[in-house]
C-alpha cells in the first residue's frame, strides 16, 4: 500500500517533528510513500540537519486569498471565505497528487502554524477514496491563534477525528484528551529514538568536554520558546542559588541568542551553543552531568504544555544520564518521569525547590546511577524505533514490501 504523508515541516529541517518523520520513514521503500508540504522541499535547498528522505516530494503552494472587503469592521467575512476557500483549493491540489501517485492512504501530521492541511487532507482523502490518518504531533485545535479559525475548527475538528480510520497521538495525556473530547480511542506512538546511536563510543569532542576541569554541565538541546522561558529562567536562578561557580547551563538550540537573552535567559552560568546537526546530539547529551527537561509554568498555552511530548524526551532517556524535569504538575512529562521514577521532578514554579533538586542530583552518586538506569529502561520500553515503526505499520496496514 502506498501512502501520502502531509506535513508543513519535513526532513532535513531542524525541528523535532521533522526528525520524528525522518526516523519513521527513512528505511521504508521510497516507492511506498510520497511527501507533501506547504514549504518547498522539492528544491532541496534546506539546511541538512537530519538527512533528506528518498520519497518523492511535492510542494503545496499558498492558496488564493481575498484581499478586499476588510473595511467597515467586516473583516470576518473575507477571513471566513479565505479559510473555507483555502481548504477547498488545498484539498483539490492534494487530491490531484493522490491520484497521480495512486495513494491509498493519507497521513496528516499536525504541527507548526499550518491549519489548512488537516481539513484539506481529510477532504482530499474522501475525494479519492483513500483512508485518512491524523498524526497529532501537536494538538491541532491549539495551533490556531485567531478567533475565527478556532470557531471554524470547533465545528470541523470532531468530524475529522471521528471520520479518521485511526488517530495517532504521541502520549497518553493527549490520547485521554481525545477520548474525552471526541469519544475516540487514539493509538499512542511515542516520539521514537534510535537507541543504537546512544551505544556508540563518544566522539573526541564529547569525551574532552567530560574531562573539563571542574565544570558541571547542565545540558538542554532543542528549541526554546514561550513553552520554556520561565522554566529556563528558574534554572539559571537555581544555579546562582547554589553558589557554585563550576555549574553551567549549556543550551544547544537553533534559536538566536539575542532572542533568548531578550527573554531574560542570560547570565554568568549560561553557555550558548549554535545549533548542531542531529547526529551530534547523542554525544552532547551523553556528555552532560545532568540533562534538563523544562516546560513553562506561566505559558500562554497551558493546554499545550499539559499534553506536550517533547521530541527530545526519548533521546534524553536513551542517553543514560540523570534527568531533571521542571514542568507543571499536570503535564505529561511530570507525570511520566514521576510515574516511572526515571528522572527527578520539580513541578512547582520555584527556583529554590529547583536548586535543592539540582544539589541533590549533584551530590548523590547513587541517585544519579539509579535515574540513569531507569531512564534507559524507559527508552527501551516506550521509545525504541523498531517498536514505533511496527506500530505505525500496523495502524496503516502496510504490507511487508513497504517495510
- Taking residues 205-228, report their average pLDDT: 77
> How much is the pLDDT for 72?
45
> What's phi and psi for 97, nearest 5 deg?
-70, -40
Classify 249 as helix, strand or coil: strand
Give the confidence band of 204 by pLDDT, cuts at 50, 70, 90. Answer: low
Domain ranges of the chain: 3-192+384-402, 197-382
pLDDT, one tens digit per residue, over 326-368 is 999 999 999 999 999 999 999 999 999 999 999 999 999 999 9
Burial (CB count within 10 angstroms: exposed 0-12, middle 13-18, buried 19+), residue 174: buried
User: How is residue 82 written as a grid cell?
Assistant: 479565505
User: What is the DSSP secondary-structure string of 37-61?
Assistant: ESS--SS--S--SS---SSEEEE-P
Which residue did the predictor score with more confidence, 388 or 139? 388
| Cell 525504541 -> residue | 384
Q: Tell me which of 18 and 140 has the higher pLDDT.
A: 18
Q: What distances in angstroms separate CA 351 from CA 248, 327, 355, one per listed residue?
A: 15, 12, 6
Higher pLDDT, 69 or 288: 288
Angle in degrees, 0-180, between the axes of helices 332-340 and 172-182, rounded to the nearest 10? 130
Query: Which band of pLDDT confidence, cut at 50, 70 and 90, is reported for residue 149?
Result: low
CATH number of this structure's domain 197-382: 3.40.50.2000
Specify the pLDDT at position 56: 97
Summarised one tens digit per residue, pLDDT across range 73-122 is 445 556 667 788 889 999 999 999 999 999 999 999 987 667 889 999 99
Q: Would the pLDDT of 293 be above 90?
A: yes
* Range in 203-207, 232-236, 375-379 with the lowest mean pLDDT: 203-207
Q: How confident is the model at residue 153 (pLDDT cuts 50, 70, 90)?
A: low
- Which cell is 365 given? 552518586
- Work out the average pLDDT over 166-173: 97
44 Rama class: left (phi>0) / alpha (psi -120 to 50) / beta: left
The 8-class DSSP code of residue 119 comes to H
Least confident of 211-215, 239-243, 276-280: 211-215
Strand partners, 221: 252
Q: How far apart are the C-alpha atoms of 325 and 285, rounded to whole Å?
A: 15
Give 3-15 as a DSSP string.
EEEE-SS-TTSSS
Rounded mean pLDDT of the chain? 89
Number of other residues whose CB lies within 10 A of the CB of residue 147: 10
Please, which residues have CB within 8 angstroms of residue 239's CB and are 6 or more apart in sequence?
218, 247, 248, 249, 269, 355, 358
pTM of the predicted model as reported, rounded to 2 decimal places: 0.90
State the pLDDT at residue 128.
Answer: 98
Sheet holding 3-6, edge to edge: 56-59, 33-37, 3-6, 105-109, 131-135, 168-169, 187-188
Q: Do domains 3-192+384-402 and 197-382 have the same CATH topology?
A: yes
Query: CB within 8 A of 5, min separation 6: which ones?
Result: 21, 25, 33, 34, 35, 36, 107, 108, 109
Ranges 44-48, 141-145, 268-272: which has the least confidence? 141-145
Closest CA to 218 of 334, 347, 361: 361
CATH architecture of 3-192+384-402: 3-Layer(aba) Sandwich (3.40)
Place of cell 517533547: 310
Amino acid at each position: 500500500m502506498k501512502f501520502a504523508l502531509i506535513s508543513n515541516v519535513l526532513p532535513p529541517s531542524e525541528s523535532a517533528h521533522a526528525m520524528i518523520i525522518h526516523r519513521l520513514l527513512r528505511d521504508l521503500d521510497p516507492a511506498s510513500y510520497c511527501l507533501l508540504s506547504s514549504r518547498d522541499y522539492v528544491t532541496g535547498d534546506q539546511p541538512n540537519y537530519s538527512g533528506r528522505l528518498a520519497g518523492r516530494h511535492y510542494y503545496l503552494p499558498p492558496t488564493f486569498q481575498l484581499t478586499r472587503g476588510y473595511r467597515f469592521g467586516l473583516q470576518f467575512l473575507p477571513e471566513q471565505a479565505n479559510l473555507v476557500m483555502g481548504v477547498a483549493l488545498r484539498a483539490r491540489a492534494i487530491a490531484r497528487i493522490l491520484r497521480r501517485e495512486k495513494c491509498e492512504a493519507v497521513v496528516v501530521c499536525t504541527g507548526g502554524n499550518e491549519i489548512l492541511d488537516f481539513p484539506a487532507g481529510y477532504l482530499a482523502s474522501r475525494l479519492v477514496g483513500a483512508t485518512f490518518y491524523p498524526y497529532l504531533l501537536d494538538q491541532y485545535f491549539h495551533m490556531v491563534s485567531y478567533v475565527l479559525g478556532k470557531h471554524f475548527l470547533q465545528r470541523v475538528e470532531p468530524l475529522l477525528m471521528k471520520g479518521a480510520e485511526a488517530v495517532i497521538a504521541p502520549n497518553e495525556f493527549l490520547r485521554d484528551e481525545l477520548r474525552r473530547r471526541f469519544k475516540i480511542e487514539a493509538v499512542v506512538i511515542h516520539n521514537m529514538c534510535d537507541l543504537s546511536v546512544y551505544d556508540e563510543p563518544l566522539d573526541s569532542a564529547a569525551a574532552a568536554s567530560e574531562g573539563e576541569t571542574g565544570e558541571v554541565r547542565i545540558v538542554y538541546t532543542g528549541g526554546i520558546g514561550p513553552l520554556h522561558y520561565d522554566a529556563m529562567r528558574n534554572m539559571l536562578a537555581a544555579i546562582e542559588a547554589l553558589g557554585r561557580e563550576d555549574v553551567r547551563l549549556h543550551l544547544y538550540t537553533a534559536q538566536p541568542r539575542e532572542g533568548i537573552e531578550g527573554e531574560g535567559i542570560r547570565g554568568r552560568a549560561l553557555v550558548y551553543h549554535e545549533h548542531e546537526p542531529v547526529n551530534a546530539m547523542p554525544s552532547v547529551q551523553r556528555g552532560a552531568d545532568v540533562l534538563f527537561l523544562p516546560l513553562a509554568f506561566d505559558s500562554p498555552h497551558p493546554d499545550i504544555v499539559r499534553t506536550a511530548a517533547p521530541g527530545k524526551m526519548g533521546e534524553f532517556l536513551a542517553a543514560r544520564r540523570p534527568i531533571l524535569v521542571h514542568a507543571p504538575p499536570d503535564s505529561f512529562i511530570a507525570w511520566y518521569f514521576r510515574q516511572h521514577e526515571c528522572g527527578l521532578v520539580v513541578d512547582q514554579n520555584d527556583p529554590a525547590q529547583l536548586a535543592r533538586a539540582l544539589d541533590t542530583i549533584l551530590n548523590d552518586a547513587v541517585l544519579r546511577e539509579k535515574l540513569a538506569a531507569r531512564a534507559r529502561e524507559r527508552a527501551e520500553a516506550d521509545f525504541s524505533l523498531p517498536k514505533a515503526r511496527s506500530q505505525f505499520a500496523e495502524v496503516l496496514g502496510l504490507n511487508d514490501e513497504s517495510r
